[in-house]
Chain A
């Protein structure tokens, strides 16, 4: 066991966790932030997506200790008093059904909008679909997820 310190959703936390602990396990099991989901074991589905220092990462594919000293934001930490525009857009556009892929979709969506804005690029339908390569959804056919991200991109 080794001490690990990082910031999760604005709160500094220190925990004693084994070296083999995945970041997704730390979030789900140690910190009980169960909004981050695990839907596969090959880093394909993106249900575990969180932000590390403002960039999207797959929490199932990182050791918790690799996140030492970083700032992690999970789906639970996205709303700041009121819903984030991306969260609201998913509700407005029926961008979710069973909800399991949703946290990852929202975290990936926020990251993609921020990245495109920072780089001054246009996030059109084709770009959104391409950017969603690492996020699987089995319910929505992606139709309303793309619409949700399109809406949020105009509001963020």
Chain B
């Protein structure tokens, strides 16, 4: 291993601009002739819009224009769409309600935009937006997913009777029922996976520039996938044809899923730029983030898991209601189906699984993929069931899991996944050793002597990353292919630029991607630069989400490097008068193996571009591109063990120890991979103990700021212990599985299992706040007193 190659802890190349304040985020962009947008948003969860009076606002200082939804749709701007078609079990298509970037006749959640003010400054735009008078006729609202399905519930969309978007199933219902019928033990649970707000620290922002001379648009935006944004803006929203629209996602301050989607604000700014002939900028404040960034999770699930007398799982039956909010967001339909139900086998050999999912509309912010997307919900359910079953059956929770682990690969689950590689028992062993599970009883006793309750909880997670292959996801309803592209350019002086369709918004691609290139071509890592995030520079790409940039994005780079290497060897063989098969790239040069005949890497680059002496028929230049379409998902897996301590007088709970043993396949940069686990686990601890989006029954958003929505802070998380137990992914060239979401998937059940272990009460829903824990302990004391 070189000190900058695969496996090296290379410090990040991109850090310098961030630590010196020279990062360039979308809100840092300001162009000539800059105007500013402020949106007029519905204060009601559900209302008819009978009219909009903009006259007062139009006359105010600095106001350039006040635009509404009728003008927008009148100009042919299309409705927002969900890009993954999921049909109900009876074959009927999903019921997608219309969603205009600016609502015309009805608003369906607090924050739904009805008009936009364009003015000379942000302050003037906001002041004028307050003066836009909207005549709302309030309608009854529905907030909770189960209530949306009840008879007589308010109807969110006319074309979705009973608020039902689809009623979908996977697996064999009859066989699963039969397996449960004959079970020796059945564990039954109702589990709520609460609604979360992703909260990247950088609020969403857009700067739209319309060039009247060229009929050309440029959009700077906070996107995880600028090419997808351009595709959707062009093909579905009719903003501009692709060759007349450049999308740039510069430095982006975190995404976590919330910046995958193409939002009403981006569409509106582009259109308003054309309408006004001004560059239009919008930057959301945090209140707008809570009100309009797509939320995550929000499942209500009941499940039954059957075991035989030996503790082997015989069947798993799951019924889930998924809250989609007021509109179907871009990937929403895939989350509780192909990213959730297909992972319900967990790490376990289960012959019979059936899952039914009903997706429903409510008068809340739309829900879509948030770090983990479906897989945290699946993992939380399974791992709570396993821990509960172990407690009910009086067996060790780790060993009950081990007894059911899948241990031969490939393994086909009854919910259409084929796991390719893993070592689940090894993960468990490594985690148990690192967490010193053997010493837990002593730690618990010591905590008790201090008046504290200590608990330990396991979670054995598996996830599916790098969603693919394109033909398979296409057959399941995906509207796009899920490949990645790359171009590797060797310059005449030998420096290398890699253009990637992946997007880095914290993941460190400018370092890790450079590592694989520097190693492959034996070049200094300083001589490799990674270009991403601009549709004018990179031809196409699918962006970064679902932990796909390593497994899919880097694989595309490898494929392009294969082509470059082949050409380099041909040039060197020709120049050095040797056979191509004898040429090797090592020690910074291209040489004939075992001889002192060599060319500098830069000499090969120069030869390629001068074209003075190339093999017959060879084109000049040294630049190759590739598209990589994976053959399967990848399956990162691991074992997490949490230990908590609770103050029984206050319910105050601290995660005092957290151990992760992950199998991510090949690791390019352990420093960066561990950073991903740190962040993911903190988000998982946040979900388990702190975070929840709350609406009141009328659909008013209660958690609209950081004073109400509790983000994990430095005191809420401990230092983590991280182990790696690597099995190589057999299906991509580097053997990578992915690491971006594991922490957020694996941590919540480990923490809740530890809390319920500590307090001896299994009935607690997330977030397990101090108040909930205190109440559970009080209830237990009351019950004990009564006995």
Q: Are A141 and B682 in contact (CB under 8 A)?
A: yes
Quick one: given A97-B679, A142-B682, are A33 and B706 in contact (CB under 8 Å)? Answer: no
Interface string of B7-23 (1 = CB under 8 A from A): 00001101111111111
Given A132-B713, A136-B713, are A91 and B203 also a contact pair (CB < 8 Å)? no
Known interface pairs A103-B21, A136-B201, A142-B682. Does A129 touch B706 (Cβ–Cβ under 8 Å)?
no
CB pair B714–A128 under 8 Å, yes or no, is yes
* Residues of A within 8 A of B (CB-CB), count: 55
How far, in whole Å, are A42 and B683 apart by their CA atoms in the complex?
21
In the bound complex, do residue A141 and residue B679 qualify as a contact, i.e. CB atoms below 8 Å apart? yes
- Nearest-neighbor residue (CB-CB) of B286 within chain A: A40
> Judging by beta carbons under 8 Å apart, are A35 and B21 in contact?
yes
Contact of B25 among A37, A97, A136, A145 (CB under 8 A): A37
What residues of chain A lie closer than 8 Å to B24, measured between beta carbons?
34
Q: Is B202 an interface residue (CB 8 A)?
A: yes
Contact across chains for A140 and B252 when beta carbons are under 8 A apart: no
CA distance A132 to B675 in the complex (A): 18
Q: Does B707 contact A (CB under 8 A)?
A: yes
What CA separation (Å) do A103 and B25 show in the bound complex? 13
Q: Is the CB of B23 within 8 A of A35?
A: yes
The residue in chain B whose Cβ has the minimal distance to the Cβ of A21 is B123
Establish whether residues A99 and B714, one from each chain, have CB atoms under 8 Å apart when the complex forms: no
B588 within 8 A of A: no
Q: How far is the CB of B91 from chain A (nearest CB, A)?
A: 41
Closest approach, in angstroms, between the C-beta of B220 and any C-beta of chain A?
13
**A94-B672, A132-B714, A142-B717 as given contacts; A41 in contact with B285, CB under 8 Å:** yes
Provide the main secondary structure of the chain A interface: loop
A13 vs B541: C-alpha distance in the bound complex, in angstroms?
45
Partner of B20 from A29, A87, A141 at Cβ < 8 Å: A87
Docked-complex contact B201 and A47, CB < 8 angstroms:
yes
**With contact pairs A39-B202, A144-B678 given, residues A98 and B287 touching in the complex (Cβ less than 8 Å):** no
In the assembled complex, B506 has its CB within 8 A of some CB on chain A:
yes
Within 8 A of A (CB), among B601-645: none
Asked if B506 contacts A40 (CB within 8 A), the reply is no
Say yes or no: A143 contacts B506, CB within 8 Å: no
Query: What's the minimum C-beta distance from B7 to chain A, rounded to whole angstroms?
Result: 16
* Bound complex: CA A98 to CA B25 (Å): 10
B20 in contact with A146 (CB, 8 Å): no
Q: For A42, what are the chain B residues with a Cβ–Cβ distance below 8 Å?
A: 286, 705-707
* Per-position binary interface string of chain A over residues 6-24, scored 1 when its CB falls under 8 Å from any chain B CB and 0 otherwise: 0000000000000010000
Is B21 a contact of A138 with CB atoms below 8 Å?
no
Chain B contacts for A141, CB-based, 8 A: 677-683, 712, 717, 720, 743
CB–CB A99/B679 < 8 A: no
Q: Which of A33, A45, A83, A135 contacts B19 (CB 8 A)?
A: A83
Interface residues of B in 655-685 (CB under 8 A from A): 671-672, 674-675, 677-683
Q: Is B234 an interface residue (CB 8 A)?
A: no
Contact of B711 among A78, A106, A136 (CB under 8 A): A136
Indicate if the CB atoms of A99 and B715 lie closer than 8 Å: no
Q: Is the CB of B711 within 8 A of A138?
A: yes
Q: Is the CB of A98 within 8 A of B21?
A: no
Tell me if B505 is interfacial: C-beta within 8 Å of chain A.
Answer: yes
Cβ of A100 and Cβ of B714 under 8 Å apart? no
B200 within 8 A of A: yes
Which residues from A are CB-within-8-Å of B705? Answer: 40-42, 44
Query: Once the chains bind, are A92 and B11 in contact (CB under 8 Å)?
Result: yes
**CB atoms of A90 and B706 under 8 A apart:** no
Instruction: Decide if B251 touches A99 in the complex (CB within 8 Å).
Output: yes
Smallest beta-carbon distance B709→chain A, Å: 10
| B256 part of interface (Cβ distance < 8 Å) | yes
- Inter-chain contact A136/B706, CB cutoff 8 Å: yes
> Most chain-B CB neighbours within 10 Å: which of A33, A42, A128, A138?
A138
B88 at the interface (CB under 8 A from A): no
Most chain A beta carbons < 10 A, residue from B18, B23, B674, B714: B714
Q: How far is the CA of A17 from the CA of B680 in the complex (A)?
A: 42
Q: A41-B287, A136-B706 are in contact. Are A101 and B675 (CB under 8 A)?
A: no
Taken residue by residue from 47 to 89, chain A's Cβ proximity to chain B (1 for < 8 Å, 0 otherwise) reads as 1000000000000000000000000001110110001000100
Chain A residues positioned under 8 Å from B20 (CB to CB):
35, 75-76, 78-79, 83, 87
Residues of chain B within 8 A of A146, CB atoms compared: 714, 719
User: Is A130's beta carbon under 8 Å from chain B?
Assistant: yes
Q: How near does chain A come to B717, taking the closest CB pair, in angstroms?
A: 6
Question: Separation in Å of the A18 CB from the closest CB of chain B?
Answer: 8
Contact B11 A125 (CB under 8 A): no
Docked pose: A106 CA to B19 CA in angstroms: 8
Given contacts A75-B21, A139-B679, A140-B678, contact A94 B671 (CB under 8 A): yes
**How does the 8 Å CB contact mask read for A123-156 relative to B, with 1 for contact and 0 for none?**
0010011101101111111111110000000000
Q: Could you tell me the distance between the alpha carbons of A91 and B23 in the complex, rounded to whole angstroms?
A: 14
Partner of B683, one of A90, A96, A130, A138: A138
Does B508 lie at the interface of the complex (its beta carbon under 8 Å from any beta carbon of A)? yes
How long is the Cα–Cα vector from A103 to B23 in the complex, in angstroms? Answer: 10
Most buried by B among A20, A28, A91, A133: A91
Q: B675 and A94: CB pair below 8 A?
A: yes
Cα–Cα, bound, A37→B200 (Å): 13
Distance in angstroms from B125 CB to nearest chain A CB is: 14
Q: Is B696 an interface residue (CB 8 A)?
A: no
Instruction: Decide if A140 touches B202 in the complex (CB within 8 Å).
Output: no
With A42-B286, A132-B713 as known contacts, state yes or no: A20 contacts B683, CB within 8 Å.
Answer: no
Out of A35, A94, A102, A139, name the residue touching B11 (CB < 8 Å).
Answer: A94
Is the beta-carbon distance between B286 and A97 smaller than 8 angstroms? no
Complex contacts, B23 vs chain A, CB 8 Å: 35, 99-100
B505 touches A98 (CB 8 A): yes
Q: Which residues of A contact B675 (CB under 8 A)?
A: 94, 97, 139-140, 143-144
Determine whether the beta carbon of B202 is less than 8 Å from that of A100. yes
Q: Report the Cα distance A99→B201, complex, angstroms.
A: 9
Point out the residues of chain A lying under 8 angstroms from B506, CB to CB: 97-99, 139
A-B contacts, 13 listed (Cβ < 8 Å): A20-B123, A33-B21, A37-B253, A38-B27, A83-B19, A92-B11, A94-B671, A99-B251, A100-B201, A101-B201, A130-B715, A143-B720, A146-B719
Besides A76-B22, A83-B19, A99-B253, 9 other A-B contacts (C-beta < 8 A): A34-B24, A34-B27, A37-B25, A83-B20, A96-B12, A100-B253, A138-B254, A141-B678, A141-B717
B interface residues with partner A (beta carbon < 8 Å): 11-12, 14-25, 27-28, 30, 123, 199-203, 251-254, 256, 285-287, 505-508, 671-672, 674-675, 677-683, 705-707, 711-715, 717, 719-720, 743
State the 3 A-B residue pairs at the shortest beta-carbon distance, nearest first: A35-B21, A100-B253, A99-B18
